[in-house]
Chain A
């Protein structure tokens, strides 16, 4: 028997029947209402959690994708022997992400002084040294959606770089100079959030210190504006404003996640210069900040090998991109793999990842092409790549420690003048860990396979580092949190995330944290969308949920063929869940999500085939190849887009048909699809490329988006040429 606060007895296993007999009506009624309501709330909460997990798992799978792609390139680069000079050029271009510059060359290339600003330009005009008025003018201009002239952008970037060069790797902040320090997390191009922070907390000033903990750019649409504002304040108040580098302050990541696109779109002709300068500013950003020698602020996290003394001594500017190739053997080829560095001769930035564990799972054995004589190249590539991937996988199957050895032995190029390669490797790992790691509840330190970079670090790792350097706690960002912040490791690690509504309107709040001399954290939360406030909790959850399921359905659609293979006809919920997980590898609670994704029949079985038909395209037999092709393209559009941008070195948005062809062949051998030249030609024709033999790849990708919308609206035509 239990007693409630009214002192009445309730039978522990009460049924409605018993209630009728024993208790007064108002009491019974109240119990029923409460019972019903609590269940309703629980369901809402469950939906919210599921939605969150969907978004997170898709986001991290995407990051993993990125790393896998980089790994693929790096192995390709090691073992690919081009059969013609054209191929050689093509391949080498894939891995040389841009010319490198000596200091003087950089100045010359990114020169702004000769740029004229027309009288018709009504935006802010900057002069150096900057004054608070310039900052206010910029804020106002950006609120009015104005754009800063390229000349001023470049000028600002030059000055920022000059300033950053003087700073140590670890910034030191003291709370005795300015009473309080405000720490902000990821902003990801969401300018409205930055405005909101300044509105609620005040602008940076001699009495208001700020630390911005990385990931200023990518995903949101106003990354450049955020950079401009942050750099401006950095120059005006150098003692009070501190910036940490995040994993997105990296041009290889920017290629995929939108910042490169944003800059090129906004600045067209001058975009290239701006991007080049930004690369050379990012690498000079400090890696960490220490408050009162007691609170360490880094973007990602730590690992069991993190060493602040080593970090302090690293030449941080050597690492323009922290992602790079892991060479597997001594190269007897003349490809230069080198730290990108404005002082060095040739810049090669083969994408890859230091701490990433290994290659993607083994692809199926390549099938013979259907027309033997026309496919020499692709067959050869398939075989070669296949062999090499097998070889590399065998290498990786050897233990972790041997992997280290191989890496060392295979290290950097002939022209590396900057010291023994193993130190460089260690340095890179130190930075990678700081920028990419995530905390985990279990003790230990394991490789972060979800992200593909950095580690998962446990409370013991945190404890050790706090002890070693006599610190009180860590502040990091890197992970989106529902409430904008979250403690873990027994309140020794604080995650702060400042991009509200990150996944979707209503998905999460943003937050910043203030620390006074007592170093006790005070949080301020916000949500930068008025619309979100007027929605009820249910409506908010529904909205975000809708968005999540749309994304999930897209993923399912993109894997239709694989799903078809796994299951036929009518199946149980159990089999369905297993099948879907085996294809998508998202680790989601599929049984709980089922009602949103597939209908069940009266006897509890799932109509699998009709489900796939709903998801997939109508298939006419002769277009069978094309359909699966489209599927593959759609599934990998992110990768494809990244590859395109790597090839498109002048960021013109155009690549030649030849380059497209080569790319596609390489890519399809990686993805192991059977592909005929005819197949590609048909595809190309039907999407109506051929503007002077060039392909506008934005159009190419757009065609697929339109195609899918067409399907959604039930037109069911699968030939992209149906669209204009």
Chain B
């Protein structure tokens, strides 16, 4: 279900706003025009963005309620900020080749795979560390149980197919 942004306009501002509102409302269970702050990541990513955790935190800081940080995010604050994000194409996608290169960097011996231990070490200690659950979930698909390694080329192509 890859939603390509296309090479042309992403649509008028009105259309962008409608898109944002629709996704926002999908998480707004009570019809109160506000969503749980913890769902912001989901919303932003659904709208096609690839923010890092740091970028997300920064966004949150802009849309949070000053009196009640970490609580609910209101649409009226969120909409203009998110519209700008989409218009500016912030938080760009990580293309497949860049992703591949990233794995290759971690594959020191350039043998086409990374051992489970190494991958776990990198992803739970470096960068913006995975939680245990995230690591487990990734491994459940990425790991080849016979060799206990991750053949990253296969993994990437599998995930990319799933996306479409």
Residues of B contacting A442 with CB < 8 Å?
30-31
Contact A33 to B102, CB < 8 A, known contacts A10-B54, A47-B1, A573-B11: yes
Instruction: Say whether B153 faces chain A, with CB atoms less than 8 Å apart.
Output: no
A-B contact pairs, 11 of them (CB 8 A): A6-B126, A13-B55, A32-B94, A37-B138, A39-B49, A40-B159, A442-B30, A577-B22, A589-B25, A604-B9, A604-B11
Contact A26 to B126, CB < 8 A, known contacts A39-B45, A40-B159, A573-B11: yes
Instruction: Say whether B141 faces chain A, with CB atoms less than 8 Å apart.
Output: yes
Residues of A contacting B42 with CB < 8 Å?
42, 45-46
Instruction: Say whether A517 faces chain B, with CB atoms less than 8 Å apart.
Output: no
Q: Tell me how far the C-beta of A456 lies from the nearest C-beta in chain B, rounded to whole angstroms.
A: 12
Interface string of A22-53 (1 = CB under 8 A from B): 00011111111111111111110111011001
Chain B residue with Cβ nearest A536: B141
Number of interface residues of B (CB under 8 A): 56
Instruction: Say whether B52 faces chain A, with CB atoms less than 8 Å apart.
Output: yes
Contact assessment for B22 and A591 in the assembled complex, using a CB-CB cutoff below 8 Å: yes
CB neighbors of B among A314-334 (8 A)? none
Instruction: Say whether A694 faces chain B, with CB atoms less than 8 Å apart.
Output: no
Chain B residue with Cβ nearest A440: B30
Contact assessment for A574 and B126 in the assembled complex, using a CB-CB cutoff below 8 Å: no
Instruction: Say whether B76 faces chain A, with CB atoms less than 8 Å apart.
Output: no
**Contact residues of B: prevailing secondary structure:** helix
Residues of B contacting A43 with CB < 8 Å?
1, 45-46, 163
Contact assessment for B52 and A574 in the assembled complex, using a CB-CB cutoff below 8 Å: no
Which residues of B are in contact with A by a Cβ distance under 8 Å?
1-3, 6, 8-9, 11, 14-15, 18-19, 22-23, 25-26, 29-31, 41-42, 45-46, 49-55, 57-58, 93-94, 98-99, 101-103, 105-106, 122-123, 125-130, 134, 137-138, 140-141, 159, 162-163
Contact assessment for A589 and B52 in the assembled complex, using a CB-CB cutoff below 8 Å: no
Contact assessment for B46 and A537 in the assembled complex, using a CB-CB cutoff below 8 Å: no
Instruction: Say whether A174 faces chain B, with CB atoms less than 8 Å apart.
Output: no
Contact A31 to B22, CB < 8 A, known contacts A36-B50, A43-B163, A47-B1: no
Q: Tell me how far the C-beta of A88 lies from the nearest C-beta in chain B, rounded to whole angstroms.
A: 48
Q: Tell me how far the C-beta of B135 lies from the nearest C-beta in chain A, rounded to whole angstroms.
A: 10
Contact A25 to B105, CB < 8 A, known contacts A536-B140, A589-B25: yes
Contact assessment for A39 and B50 in the assembled complex, using a CB-CB cutoff below 8 Å: yes
Contact assessment for B15 and A574 in the assembled complex, using a CB-CB cutoff below 8 Å: yes
Residues of A contacting B103 with CB < 8 Å?
29, 33
How far does the alpha carbon of A39 sit from the alpha carbon of B43 in the complex, in Å? Answer: 10
Chain A residue with Cβ nearest B21: A591
**Contact with A4, one of B25, B122, B129, B140 (Cβ below 8 angstroms):** B129
**Contact with B3, one of A25, A34, A53, A595 (Cβ below 8 angstroms):** A595
Contact assessment for A441 and B55 in the assembled complex, using a CB-CB cutoff below 8 Å: no
Contact assessment for A37 and B57 in the assembled complex, using a CB-CB cutoff below 8 Å: no
Contact A2 to B54, CB < 8 A, known contacts A39-B45, A49-B26, A592-B22: yes
Residues of A contacting B23 with CB < 8 Å?
589, 592
Q: Tell me how far the C-beta of B95 lies from the nearest C-beta in chain A, rounded to whole angstroms.
A: 9
Residues of B contacting A14 with CB < 8 Å?
52, 54-55
Residues of A contacting B134 with CB < 8 Å?
37-38, 41
Q: Tell me how far the C-beta of B100 lies from the nearest C-beta in chain A, rounded to whole angstroms.
A: 10
Residues of B contacting A37 with CB < 8 Å?
130, 134, 138
Contact assessment for A537 and B98 in the assembled complex, using a CB-CB cutoff below 8 Å: no
How far does the alpha carbon of A358 sit from the alpha carbon of B106 in the complex, in Å? Answer: 65
Contact A604 to B8, CB < 8 A, known contacts A28-B102, A589-B25: yes
Residues of A contacting B58 with CB < 8 Å?
2, 12-13
Contact A30 to B46, CB < 8 A, known contacts A538-B141, A602-B8, A604-B11: no
Contact assessment for A34 and B127 in the assembled complex, using a CB-CB cutoff below 8 Å: yes
Which residues of A are in contact with B by a Cβ distance under 8 Å?
2, 4-6, 10-14, 16, 25-43, 45-47, 49-50, 53, 441-442, 536-538, 542, 572-574, 577, 589-592, 595-596, 602-604
How far does the alpha carbon of A592 sit from the alpha carbon of B19 in the complex, in Å? Answer: 8
How far does the alpha carbon of A538 sit from the alpha carbon of B159 in the complex, in Å? Answer: 9
Q: Tell me how far the C-beta of B119 lies from the nearest C-beta in chain A, rounded to whole angstroms.
A: 9
How far does the alpha carbon of A590 sit from the alpha carbon of B26 in the complex, in Å? Answer: 11
Q: Tell me how far the C-beta of A659 lies from the nearest C-beta in chain B, rounded to whole angstroms.
A: 46
**Contact residues of A: prevailing secondary structure:** helix
Q: Tell me how far the C-beta of A325 lies from the nearest C-beta in chain B, rounded to whole angstroms.
A: 33
**Contact with B1, one of A41, A441, A574, A596 (Cβ below 8 angstroms):** A596
Residues of B contacting A36 with CB < 8 Å?
50, 94, 99
Residues of A contacting B2 with CB < 8 Å?
595
Residues of B contacting A542 with CB < 8 Å?
162
Chain B residue with Cβ nearest A572: B15
Contact A592 to B26, CB < 8 A, known contacts A34-B127, A39-B50: yes
Contact A30 to B127, CB < 8 A, known contacts A39-B50, A589-B22: yes
Q: Tell me how far the C-beta of B103 lies from the nearest C-beta in chain A, rounded to whole angstroms.
A: 7
Chain B residue with Cβ nearest A4: B128
Chain A residue with Cβ nearest B123: A30
Residues of A contacting B9 with CB < 8 Å?
604
Most buried by B among A6, A14, A43, A573: A43
Residues of A contacting B130 with CB < 8 Å?
34, 37
Chain A residue with Cβ nearest B142: A37
How far does the alpha carbon of A441 sit from the alpha carbon of B72 in the complex, in Å? Answer: 15
Q: Tell me how far the C-beta of B144 lies from the nearest C-beta in chain A, rounded to whole angstroms.
A: 14
Contact A12 to B54, CB < 8 A, known contacts A37-B134, A442-B31: yes
**Contact with A29, one of B22, B45, B122 (Cβ below 8 angstroms):** B122
How far does the alpha carbon of A30 sit from the alpha carbon of B130 in the complex, in Å? Answer: 10
Most buried by A among B102, B103, B141: B102
Residues of A contacting B19 with CB < 8 Å?
591
How far does the alpha carbon of A573 sit from the alpha carbon of B140 in the complex, in Å? Answer: 37
Residues of A contacting B93 with CB < 8 Å?
39
Contact assessment for A34 and B45 in the assembled complex, using a CB-CB cutoff below 8 Å: no
Contact assessment for A35 and B94 in the assembled complex, using a CB-CB cutoff below 8 Å: yes
Contact A26 to B122, CB < 8 A, known contacts A32-B98, A37-B134, A604-B8: yes
Contact assessment for B55 and A26 in the assembled complex, using a CB-CB cutoff below 8 Å: no
Ranked nearest first, the 8 interchain pairs of A and B with the lowest CB-CB distance are A30-B127, A42-B45, A30-B126, A31-B127, A29-B102, A29-B105, A32-B102, A36-B94
Residues of B contacting A30 with CB < 8 Å?
102, 106, 122-123, 126-128
Q: Tell me how far the C-beta of A582 lies from the nearest C-beta in chain B, rounded to whole angstroms.
A: 15
Residues of B contacting A5 with CB < 8 Å?
125, 129
Contact A441 to B127, CB < 8 A, known contacts A12-B58, A604-B9: no
Contact assessment for A34 and B128 in the assembled complex, using a CB-CB cutoff below 8 Å: yes
Contact assessment for B51 and A35 in the assembled complex, using a CB-CB cutoff below 8 Å: yes
Chain B residue with Cβ nearest A37: B138
Contact A6 to B125, CB < 8 A, known contacts A25-B105, A441-B29, A592-B23: yes
How far does the alpha carbon of A25 sit from the alpha carbon of B108 in the complex, in Å? Answer: 11
Residues of B contacting A13 with CB < 8 Å?
55, 58
How far does the alpha carbon of A520 sit from the alpha carbon of B1 in the complex, in Å? Answer: 43
Q: Tell me how far the C-beta of B152 lies from the nearest C-beta in chain A, rounded to whole angstroms.
A: 9
How far does the alpha carbon of A577 sit from the alpha carbon of B11 in the complex, in Å? Answer: 15
How far does the alpha carbon of A47 sit from the alpha carbon of B42 in the complex, in Å? Answer: 11
How far does the alpha carbon of A36 sit from the alpha carbon of B50 in the complex, in Å? Answer: 7
Q: Tell me how far the C-beta of A449 lies from the nearest C-beta in chain B, rounded to whole angstroms.
A: 14
Residues of A contacting B57 with CB < 8 Å?
2, 12
Residues of B contacting A45 with CB < 8 Å?
42
Q: Tell me how far the C-beta of A160 lies from the nearest C-beta in chain B, rounded to whole angstroms.
A: 41
